[in-house]
Amino acid sequence: MTTIHEPVTTTATPEDLSVWPSSTTEPRPGDATVGGVSLAEVAGRYGTPVYVLDEGEVRRRCRTYRDAFPEAEVHYAAKAFLCRAMAHWVLDEGLGLDVCSAGELELAVAAGFPADRIVLHGNAKTPHDLKRALWYGVGRIVIDSPSEIARIAAAVGPDGHQKVMVRVVPGISAGGHDKIRTGTEDQKFGLSISDGYAQHAIARILDQPQLELTGLHCHLGSQITDVKPYLAAVRRMAGLMARLKEQHGLTLRELDIGGGHGVAYRPGEPAMDLTRLARKVRAELAEACAAAGLTVPRLIIEPGRAVVGPAGVALYRVVSVKHTGGRTFVAVDGGMSDNPRPALYGVRYAPRLVGRRGSADLAPVTVVGRHCEAGDVLAADARLADDVRAGDLIAVPVAGAYHLSMASGYNAVGRPPVVAVHDGRARLLVRRESLEDIHSRDVGL
């Protein structure tokens, strides 16, 4: 005999909006507005799935970084999300930009972003990436492997000049998941201090007069909510700077400690305390440099997710509700093609019903996508109104980072549009990818 497990329900409490954009309001029970715009109206006008991005929240978070690190350079990490409007907002708020490809670089420059305020990253920069970076005149190129030294020097030419940094592996494990930890010895990024590869690369750069080594770079990982790993990284990087001064008489004037500052995806989860981070890092750097007899270098940080992630909301329509195997599956019209992160590294979200007043009772559900994969799960342990039904609108907060930038064409489902909301107005930033777009790339028969 098969036992059917009835879903456990709980009485709903007032919605916790702590992980939503600060502009979020509920003018009527069951409704939600962001940036003064009804989410239900956005869905009705632009269709679903759709990414909603609060311009005011993005700008506020940029200013928060500028205020916390007034003496530092703050570069927005474009890999989190980039479009021309985003590049404009970042520039307008006084931030620089770091990019990982010629494509991101060209998009930023097309938006009017000054190339000399752009940094090129990447563990495997292609010849095209380097060619475009040099042609545009990017501010710095972060060298990630020894082979890049000769390639960049040759491309620059004997009479040219390019500022570079070296990405160092500090040997520190930090981050929310193994797949997003990049400060350890066993991953693809950077050059190790412990085996001497970083020091050897630096010596080679110093033999190239057309390359100007301005500083060191490291990045520990993503979704880091503890300040301590950054302090350890500062100490190790300062130690390396001291050895370079002793060996080569080299005084480096910049230290880039990357980003990876964690945000809360669900109410009650920890997030990086930016004020504490700035205070502790500043003090640690001053103390380490004083102990080593170094001039304090200019600090550079590279937030991405922490700027744009909490500013985004993803909207989906419920296609079906199915009770099977003792579970309730709420299937929506998007999924892993517009948000692969749950499948990649187990991120957890807190979706909610918007657009109508649902039941006061909440039931445990699994929100799944439309794709032909058992792993196409958007929220495995969500709690939604127990009367959720087909046609309902589901909103997923903290959807601004690594959604569209990691979206795919799986099952030939077009990527969603991006709609900006601000001061009661909605406008389209990135249009929906149509079937015509997909078909136009298929040129052979």
Compute the chain's Rg from CA coordinates.
24
Candidates 62, 100, 289, 372; catalytic one: 372
Task: In whole angstroms, give the CA distance from residue 206 to residue 202.
Answer: 6
Using CA atoms of 278, 283, 288, 289 in order, give the dihedral in degrees to the nearest 10.
90
* Bridge-based pairing state of the strands 425-430 and 418-422: antiparallel
Q: What is the DSSP letter of 261?
A: B
> Residues 404, 391: contact at Cβ < 8 Å?
no
Distance of alpha carbon 120 from alpha carbon 142, whole angstroms: 6
Tokens of 268: 């009650």
Report whether 282 contacts 255 (CB < 8 A).
Answer: no
Termini Cα distance of the chain: 54
Q: What secondary structure letter does DSSP report for 36?
A: T
Give the separation between CA 191 and CA 207, rounded to whole angstroms. Answer: 18
**DSSP secondary structure string, 431-443?**
PPPPHHHHHHT--
Nearest to 256 by CA among 293, 219, 294: 219
Give the Cα separation of 1 and 180 in Å (integer). Answer: 45
- Cβ contact 109:115 at 8 Å: yes
Report d(CA 144, CA 142) in Å as an integer: 6
The answer to whether 222 and 184 are in contact (CB under 8 A) is no
Active site residue 372: yes
Long-range CB contacts (< 8 A, 24+ apart) of 3-6? 3/326, 4/326, 5/326
Interatomic CA distance for residues 117 and 188, integer angstroms: 26
Using an 8 Å Cβ cutoff, are 21 and 310 in contact?
A: yes
Parallel, antiparallel or unpaired: strands 327-332 and 352-354: unpaired
C-alpha to C-alpha distance for 391 and 382, rounded to whole angstroms: 18
Residues acting as catalytic residues: 372
